[in-house]
Each structure stands twice: as structure tokens, then as C-alpha cells.
Amino acid sequence: MCSRNRLAKRQASGRHHAADAQALPWAADTTGMTLAVRVTPRASRTEILGIHPQADGRPALAIRVASPPVDGAANEVLVAFLAKQLGVAKSAINLRSGATGRVKVFRIEGDGRALMERLEERSRS
């Protein structure tokens, strides 16, 4: 109840953030960001579909990958795709969880604010 009142006050004062309206699948800090991704392998092309809710309600960045999930090939293509989209080296992207699942969590090293801005831009288009 208390947090709902605070949100209402921020909205009334114009001090609310976009994150209040929609949960995002990434969190940035001073050394980089953490990103939740839902991957669909064997697509016709590799592309970002946008932000989609998972079954548990948490958001994930939906990405289609044009590679089969065999021997980590889809993970390698996904890391290369993320590196290109975010303008970082592949070595700056570390898979934290979900190596064999569709939902994966990545840690991306770099300027958190700049990474977040690039990701917001790419997820809208």
C-alpha cells in the first residue's frame, strides 16, 4: 500500500520513470548491465522481437536466432549478435545462466547507461 501511494505521488508530480510503467529485462550499473533474453532458435533470421513477458510475468528481451540449438551454436550466434547490436566485444558478454534453456541471463561489461540506451533503441525498432 505504501509503495502504491509513493508511485501515485511521483506520477502526480511528474517524477515517475518509464520503468514504473513497464518492467524492463535489463538492469544497468556503473560496470555494465544484466540482461534477460528469451531465445527462439532455428529462425529464418537473427533479430530482436521486443520485450515479452515470461510465463512467470518477468520480462525478457525476445530474440530469434538463425542457428539450431546444437553444441552451443545458438548461444555463440546470440553472443555475437548482442555484441554487434550493443557495440561491445564478444568477450564483454558473459552467459550467467540458461546455457541449455530458452531463457538466458547475460552480464555485459561496459558503460551501463550507454548499453541501456542502445538496447532501448534496438528493442523499439
* Residues in contact with 25: Cβ distance below 8 Å, sequence separation at least 6, in sequence order: 35, 36, 37, 51, 58, 59, 60, 61
Residue ranges for the chain with pLDDT beneath 50: 1-21
Can you give the pLDDT at residue 122?
A: 87
Distance of CA 13 to the CA centre of its chain: 29
CATH 3.30.1200.10 correct for 18-124: yes
In percent, the amount of the chain with pLDDT more than 90 equals 78
- CB atoms < 10 A from the CB of 29, how many? 10
**Rounded CA gap, 38 and 47, in Å?**
12
Q: Convert the pLDDT of each residue in 20-51 to its tens digit.
A: 446 899 999 999 999 999 999 999 999 999 99
